[in-house]
Amino acid sequence: MNLVAQRHSNFIKQEAASLGFTFCGISKAEFLKDEAPKMEQWLNRRYQGKMSYLENYFDKRMDPTLLVPGAKSVVSLLYNYYPKVDLERPGEYKIAKYAYGEDYHAVVKEKLKLLLDRIRQEIGEINGRAFVDSAPVMERAWAQRGGLGWIGKNSLLLNREMGSFFFIAEMIIDLPLAYDQAVKDFCGTCTACIDACPTDAIAEPYVVDGSKCISYFTIELKESIPSEVKGKFENWIFGCDICQDVCPWNNFAYPHQEDRFTPGDELKKFSKRDWQEITQEVFDRVFGKSAVKRTKLQGLRRNISFVKSDSETSG
């Protein structure tokens, strides 16, 4: 790769760091020939459950040049969200750590737009698009190719220096850059995530049956939660962190520096009673800018009711 491409890559990584991204890796924009048959098999097994959107735009999902004509590079970035204080308390309801503060889509997308603007100011007009979990992009595959980690047995990207509590974002641009090398798999013989999943969602190492995941039931599924998973949610009412919490690599997780991810004082004090008696007014006030709003109050109440009946049954 020539010196100009290397200089451009160095500039992008420096600017990404200044905007708060912990890691930045770059890979060549090309068809994901290794991932395509795996994704096809995953869909054929119906592991997407009711997430029909995952069946759409298969060609674009595998080929970034269909999302950005003339694309040369995929820039992958990691943004830490590991909280300073874990809100999980014994006997209380739990929400995934990523939802403690403001919705990451807004926070990270703003950073990406700034990064794209800075690249254009420095290098000139380029064609590119920024993505934060909002388009048919194989984010973990690109991050792996960019050397930011490996895909673990729980199907999440794992990084040796910070575990997995981070958001992945991408920029697909028509600028040739210096490409990073993929890293090896460091999961070894560990099966902590597989052993800990209460709904047996990890069908086999590196393959998650999305239709059995607690996050799927509490966020993606819009209908009634099936009775066969009663008693298995361990008080999770929005998302689930079990396979991350038990992962040894998350011993290296460290608190984020993003003020907008800090939970509000009201949420910090939420008790079971607060959750069970939540009104639309409280929901809007506490979760108006949060990812939790995705379930709407009706969905959250469904989850709380389901988990509440769990504890009553087990008690």
Number of H helices, E strands in the chain: 12, 10
pLDDT at 134: 78
Please list the ranges in the chain whose pLDDT falls under 70.
Answer: 1, 310-315
Read off the pTM: 0.95
> If residue 73 lies in a helix (H) or strand (E), which one and from where to where?
strand 73-80
Q: Measure the CA–CA gap between 75 and 27, rounded to whole angstroms.
A: 7
- Cα separation values, 122 from 29, 69, 96, 169, 283, Å: 22, 22, 38, 21, 43
Q: Can you give the pLDDT at residue 314? A: 45
CA distance 213 to 232: 11
In three-state secondary structure terms, 18 is helix
Chain-centre distance for alpha carbon 231: 26
Angle at 80 between CA 110 and CA 172, to 5 degrees: 50
Active site residues: 133
pLDDT tens per residue, range 23-73: 999 999 999 999 999 999 999 999 999 999 999 999 999 999 999 999 999
pLDDT at 312: 52
CB neighbours (10 Å) of residue 56? 9
List residues bridging with 204 in a β-sheet. 207
SS3 7: helix
Among 147, 142, 2, 176, residue whose Cα is nearest residue 73? 176
